[in-house]
Chain A
Amino acid sequence: MKRPWKDAPRPAALLLAAWLVPGGGYLLLRRYRQFALFLLVVSIATLAGVLLHGGNLWPATGELQGLDGLAKLTARAGALAKAMAGGPYLLAYLAGYSQTYLAGCLHECGTALLTAAGLLNLLALADAWDTRGRVRA
């Protein structure tokens, strides 16, 4: 049973930390095992996605030509999901990794892993937010 915590982190700090560092929300909540494992999971997913040449760039207008509105929205939503991985996503971009949306369609296994990394980080963020609410109560 976790003891009640008087100094819960500020919401903005929790959200920013949780996005930027996978599992960062847990780190601020002093749940170190969950932080370490989520960091590992999201980092492995991102690394595997990069090694499998998944697409990480925002879809360009020219790449979406001929698609209907829903398909364009889905493509952009996928790009947004990948960005939700936070630090690993940014590190890969800053290290020079860039694969276009169309290249990502070709290497869909890598793209799926990059998307999963973002969604798993979003899961960690949501759970850290929920946990913050529970320990404050």
Chain B
Amino acid sequence: MSHPAYTVLFALLLATAMALVGDRAGRQRVYLAVYWFCSAMASVAAGAWIMHWVHG
């Protein structure tokens, strides 16, 4: 599995799980899932750039 595909899978699983917990309306869960997915992808991108700058 390629790293981008692995990253997307991980982010999807995490976003789904985080949206499922708690007592929320359906629409709120969707918004939360999107938020978590985007945050996870942004974190990976930021981490990748930091690693690039640190290691060259």
Residues of chain A having any CB pair with chain B under 8 Å = 2, 34, 37-38, 41, 44-45, 48, 52, 109, 112-113, 116, 120, 123-124, 127, 131, 134
Kindly identify which residue among B9, B10, B21, B23 contacts A123, using a CB–CB cutoff of 8 Å. B21
**A contacts with B: majority SS:** helix
Q: Does B20 contact A (CB under 8 A)?
A: yes
Residues of chain B having any CB pair with chain A under 8 Å = 1, 6, 9-10, 13-14, 16-17, 20-23
**B contacts with A: majority SS:** helix
Q: Which residues of B contact A34 (CB under 8 A)?
A: 20
Query: Across the interface, do B20 and A37 meet the contact criterion of CB distance under 8 Å?
Result: yes
Kindly identify which residue among A113, A124, A127 contacts B10, using a CB–CB cutoff of 8 Å. A113
Given contacts A48-B9, A109-B1, A109-B6, contact A2 B17 (CB under 8 A): no
A131 CB to closest chain B CB, in angstroms? 7
Taken together as a complex, chains A and B put the C-alpha atoms of A131 and B14 apart, in Å, by 20
A88 CB to closest chain B CB, in angstroms? 13
Query: Across the interface, do B13 and A45 meet the contact criterion of CB distance under 8 Å?
Result: yes
Query: Across the interface, do A52 and B17 meet the contact criterion of CB distance under 8 Å?
Result: no
Most buried by B among A41, A44, A134: A41
